[in-house]
Amino acid sequence: MDIRDRVCDTLKPLGVDVVQQGSFPDEELPAKVITYWVVASPDTRHYNGRIAMTIPKIQIAFYSNDPSELLTLPDQISNMLLAAGFHRDGNWRDAAYEKSPGHYGKMTDFNYLERGENFD
């Protein structure tokens, strides 16, 4: 399963749109949204000329026009991703306030170990 699909499927039960960062104009942002961005996907281990595993890093951001949601939803996001096998790489940090759509945000990074074909 592609890492993008894995993130979207994992977070779907929250009932919040999960989209690729920058996929729609700021003025069209919903009241709350989760975005993702694949920061890096290096080949980390090879065996016999094939990729044995990769560990993509993905940035997750949560934006809301209600700053009180920043106190609870990031922890729910973390718990769901951790339960799905992701590993958090750092703490949640503030994202810049977006004045025009009126959104506050938090972001953090996660890693996920993906095994290559025939290496399960």
Select the highest-mean-pLDDT range: 14-23, 26-35, 95-104: 14-23
The model's pTM:
0.86
Q: Is residue 27 part of a domain?
A: yes
Compute how many other C-beta atoms are within 10 angstroms of the C-beta atom of residue 33: 20
* Full domain range(s) for residue 98: 3-115
Q: Is residue 44 part of a domain?
A: yes
Domain CATH for 49: 3.30.2000.10
* pLDDT tens track for 39-84: 987 767 777 878 788 889 999 999 999 999 999 999 999 999 999 9
Q: Is residue 70 part of a domain?
A: yes
86: pLDDT confidence band, cut at 50, 70 and 90? very high
* pLDDT tens track for 10-25: 999 999 999 998 886 6
The structural domain count of the chain equals 1
Q: What is the pLDDT of residue 115?
A: 78
Q: Is residue 41 part of a domain?
A: yes
Q: Is residue 78 part of a domain?
A: yes
Select the highest-mean-pLDDT range: 21-30, 75-84, 89-98: 75-84
Q: Is residue 46 part of a domain?
A: yes
Q: Is residue 13 part of a domain?
A: yes
Q: Is residue 120 part of a domain?
A: no
